Amino acid sequence: MPEIVLSFEEARRVVEREAAKIDVSAHVTMRAALATAFNRILAEDILADRDLPPFPRSTRDGYTVRSDGAAKLKVVGEIRAGITGELPTIKAGECAAIMTGAPLPPGADAVIMIEHTALEGNTVSLQRPVAPGENVVPQGAEAHKGDVLLKRGTKLTPAALAVAASAGKSEMRVFARPKIAILSTGDELVEVNQQPAPTQIRNSNSYSLAAQITEAGGDAVILPIAPDETSRLRQLIEEGLGSDLLLLSGGVSMGTHDLVEPVLRELQAEFFFTGAKIQPGKPVVFGQARGKYFFGLPGNPVSTLVTFQLFAKPMVQVLAGATPQPLRFLQARLRSDITVKPGLTRFLPATLSGEFGRTEVEVVKWQGSGDVVSAARSDSYVVVPEISSGFGKESIVNVLLM
C-alpha cells in the first residue's frame, strides 16, 4: 500500500479541509444553565436585548458638566450608579457630582475626574478644560439592541459568559459533547491499576488523550486496551468507529506487530495521510472508515500528546460545534543552542521564562518521544522548521503553546 507522507503544513491543511466538511447543523443541542455553561460551545447566537451600555455611562467619579461651560459651577445634585427616578437637568453654570457607572443627566455631555476639581461650599472649580464626551461611554457604543453579541460556535469562556449574563441569558442552547473513542494498542500495555511485569508498561496515553479531548470540548470514551492481534483489534476498532471520532494510540509504525493500518484497510478505510514529516509523531495516520474520521497516533507518549494537539484537536473542536482554533505560537529568545538534522518539523518540549517584553525559552533535556516525564515538566514546544538544522542561543524562535 502506498504511503502518503506530508509536510507538517500539508497535513494540518488536510485535517482543516476535512473538518470544514462537517455539518454542524446536524449536531445535537441541549439547554445549559449559565452557571454550568463554562467551556461549552454555544449552539445559538446571543443577541443584545438592550443597548450596551443602556445609557450614557460615566467611567469616572467626578462631576458631570456641559463641556462648553464655565470653569466655576454650582453643584445641583449627586448621581450614583443605580439611581432611579428623574435625573436633574444640567443647565449653564451647573454640574452634578457623578459616580463611575452612573448615567449622564440631560444637558451634560462630559465628566471631569474629581482629581481635577476643587470643591468650595457648593461650587466646583474645574482645573482643566473638558472635551465633549470625555469620560463617557455613549449609549449603545458597545452594542445596539438586536446586535449579535456571541455567535453560534463560540466557546463559552469567562468573558463570553459575562456577555451572556449581560444579555439576560440565565440558560442557553449549547452543543452536546461529541463522543471521542480512545483505543490504546500494544501487547506491552497493562491498565493503570495492574502490577506490570518487568517488561510491561502502564497505559498512560488513554489518560492524556482523555484530558486533551475534554479540553477540546469532547466526551472521552476509553475502550479496553487492544492487543497486537488482528481479530480483537478489529473488534475494538469497529466499536470505536461507533463514536463520533476514533483516536488510536500505537501500532502505526513499520513493525510487524503494528497492525492498526492493516486492520483499518480491511475495513475499507480511506487514508488522507499515513505519516507527517514531524518529530515527534512521524507515523501519524489520518483517515475515514464507516463514515467516521480516525487518527492513528504514534504510541510514544510525547508523540501522542503532540499529534493530538497538531491534528486531532481541530477535528474534536469542530465535532463539538466550535469554530476551530488556530495553533497558538509566540516568539521567544532561545536560552541555548539547538542542533537537529533537517528534514522534519520538530516540536521540542520546552519551558518559557523571562520578564515582560523579553520571553525566553529553553528546550528541556529529554530522552526522546517516549520521555513523558520531561514533557510533563515543559509548558510549550520550540518549533524547528523542516529545512532548518537548528538555531543559536539568543535566536528568536517560534514556540507552540500547549
Binding site for ligand AMP (CB under 6 A): 184, 186, 188-189, 201, 203-206, 249-251, 253, 298-301, 370
Using Cβ positions, the residue closest to ligand AMP within the complex turns out to be: 299
Query: Is 364 exposed, middle or buried (CB count within 10 Å of its CB: 0-12, 13-18, 19+)?
Result: middle
**Which phi and psi (to 5°) does residue 114 adopt?**
-60, -30
Nearer to ligand AMP, 210 or 334 (CB): 210
Residue 205 contact among Mg ion, ligand AMP, none, beta carbon within 5 to 8 Å by kind? ligand AMP
Q: Which three cell numbers stand for residue 112?
A: 471631569
Residue 280 contact among Mg ion, ligand AMP, none, beta carbon within 5 to 8 Å by kind? none
Q: Is position 240 an interface residue for Mg ion (rule: CB under 5 A)? A: no
- Please say whether the beta carbons of 45 and 151 come within 8 A: yes
Q: Classify the C-alpha dihedral 324-151-59-35 as positive or negative.
A: negative
Work out how close the CB of 190 gets to Mg ion at its nearest, in angstroms, rounded to a whole number.
Answer: 13
Work out how close the CB of 262 gets to Mg ion at its nearest, in angstroms, rounded to a whole number.
Answer: 13
Query: Is 49 exposed, middle or buried (CB count within 10 Å of its CB: 0-12, 13-18, 19+)?
Result: middle
Nearer to ligand AMP, 37 or 276 (CB): 276
Nearer to ligand AMP, 161 or 210 (CB): 210
Q: Is position 250 an interface residue for Mg ion (rule: CB under 5 A)? A: yes
Nearer to ligand AMP, 46 or 210 (CB): 210
Residue 298 contact among Mg ion, ligand AMP, none, beta carbon within 5 to 8 Å by kind? ligand AMP
Count of residues engaged in binding Mg ion, rule: CB under 5 A: 4
> How many of the other CB atoms lie within 10 Å of CB of 65?
26
Nearer to ligand AMP, 248 or 397 (CB): 248
Q: Is position 186 an interface residue for Mg ion (rule: CB under 5 A)? A: yes
Nearer to Mg ion, 50 or 257 (CB): 257
Contacts of 129 (CB under 8 A, 6+ apart): none
Measured distance CA(276)–CA(75) in Å, rounded: 72
Contacts of residues 220-225 at CB distance under 8 Å and 24 or more positions apart, as own/partner, are: 220/180, 220/182, 221/179, 221/180, 221/181, 221/182, 222/182, 223/181, 223/182, 223/183, 223/184, 225/184, 225/185, 225/186, 225/189, 225/190, 225/191
Work out how close the CB of 259 gets to Mg ion at its nearest, in angstroms, rounded to a whole number.
Answer: 9
Work out how close the CB of 251 gets to Mg ion at its nearest, in angstroms, rounded to a whole number.
Answer: 5
Residue 135 contact among Mg ion, ligand AMP, none, beta carbon within 5 to 8 Å by kind? none
Give the footprint of Mg ion on this chain (CB under 5 A): 186, 250-251, 299
